[in-house]
Amino acid sequence: MYIGEVAGSPIAGHRVVITGIGAVTSCGVGANTLFEGLVSGSYSEDHTVPGFDPSVWFGPKEVRRVDRFAQLTLAAAVEAYEDAALTVTNPERAGSIFGTGIGGMTTLTAQTTVLATKGPDRVTPFLAPMMMPNAGCAQVAMRYGLTGPAETITTACAAGTHAIGYAARLVASGRLEVAVTGGGESVLDPVAFAGFRNMTALSTTGISRPFDVARDGFVMAEGAGALVIESLEHATARGARIYAEILGAGSTADAFHITAPREDGAGAQRCMELALIDADLTIKDVGHINAHGTSTPLNDLAESRAINAVFGDDAPPVTSAKGVTGHSLGGAGAIEAVASVITIDRGLIPPTIGLENIDPDIHLDVVVGSPRELAKPVVLSNSFGFGGHNGCLVIGRIS
């Protein structure tokens, strides 16, 4: 994202590097556990986070006063912060930027039941801070005393990606030296399930099959992903290990339909193009696309058309993590950004689990069966959300 000398680029400023990663997903607790699950196809069948004990991160009172989505968000952020071996010396230039699609819905629905069955006096006084979508980023800011911007992006399933892109721009501009950023979600709630099911968005089989001819909807999951990002100068000065660099980011709107993507994928196409322009790269520089790939009939086909429109016959290998992770809505893009960083770090593209027979209308080189070597250390990570929100990140090995 260092584009000060690129004519017409959206921003100019400092190079932005990634020095810490963290994740809690249906593969388990930890970023490495996530990647091992993506490679092996090992995950919890109910798509909760196995082995997650909030008391590791919160005291007994806090556990009861913090919604699970914010618990997951903080857990991922703590791993990333510790992985970066970060000590913030200038808290006003350190920020917490996170995304979520819905926030504390499980608390809201539970307290609605309390209201109906026990009356208003029994509703928890902590309802507001538990249900508010900005609770996750607030928890991170309070934990580490980050007094710079603490902001929340709520663009449905693109929220995690948009949060990282926005945080990177704050660092690139010089407003921040360092940011903890990502996204989290936990709405495995009867009301949420009913709503998504009744709009026919969920898989009737409970199996996520990205790009498969038999795909029939997404599988809802919980999870969170987090990155520590810094200006290259700040990271170098403190001797930090650098995983990768955020080279560019794109954001567009379909302006088409509240849930369905444009059939031609035009909004997603433009988002990918803008991200590559932002990174000052061409299509030939990209070694892998971490697709949104939700396993819904409309999304996967529209995304494939968008990729074909951008890359033509030269599209790099594509994979979707959601065959393993399921779809954690506002947390998905952040989780996939973490997976993209590890893909670059290890030089290995995980396969698309759940894909058995590719849809004949999808013309992509989808990685299946076993991992594949990453030939070029640049990953384009896509996220597309209800409302027509499109977000893309370009992440590459530091040069």
Catalytic residues: 157, 292, 327
Tell me the CA distances in angstroms from 76 to 30, 52, 90, 325, one per residue in order: 8, 11, 22, 15
**Among residues 264, 206, 247, 211, which one has the least CA distance to residue 18?**
247
**Among residues 105, 311, 298, which one has the least CA distance to residue 200?**
298
Tell me the CA distances in angstroms from 13 to 3, 170, 177, 241, one per residue in order: 7, 10, 12, 21
Dihedral sign, Cα of residue 293, residue 346, residue 165, residue 276? negative
Tokens at 126, concatenated: 């902590």
Tokens at 87, concatenated: 């000590």
Dihedral sign, Cα of residue 348, residue 318, residue 320, residue 276? positive
**Quick one: CA torsion of 62, 330, 282, 321, rounded to 10 degrees?**
90
Rounded CA-CA distance 364/318 in Å is: 7
List Cβ neighbours of 119 (8 Å cut-off, separation of 6 or more): none
Tokens at 4, concatenated: 């000060």
Rounded CA-CA distance 360/365 in Å is: 12
Report residue 355: phi and psi, to 5°.
Answer: -85, 120
Asked if residue 19 lies in contact with residue 243, where contact means CB atoms within 8 angstroms, the answer is: yes
Helix (H, G, I), strand (E, B) or coil at 97: strand
Label residue 7 exposed, middle or buried (CB < 10 Å: 0-12, 13-18, 19+).
Answer: exposed
Report residue 18: phi and psi, to 5°.
Answer: -105, 125
Asked if residue 50 lies in contact with residue 115, where contact means CB atoms within 8 angstroms, the answer is: no
**Residue 389: enclosing H or E segment and its boundaries?**
strand 389-396
Rounded CA-CA distance 333/391 in Å is: 9
Side chain identity at 23, as an amino acid letter? Answer: A
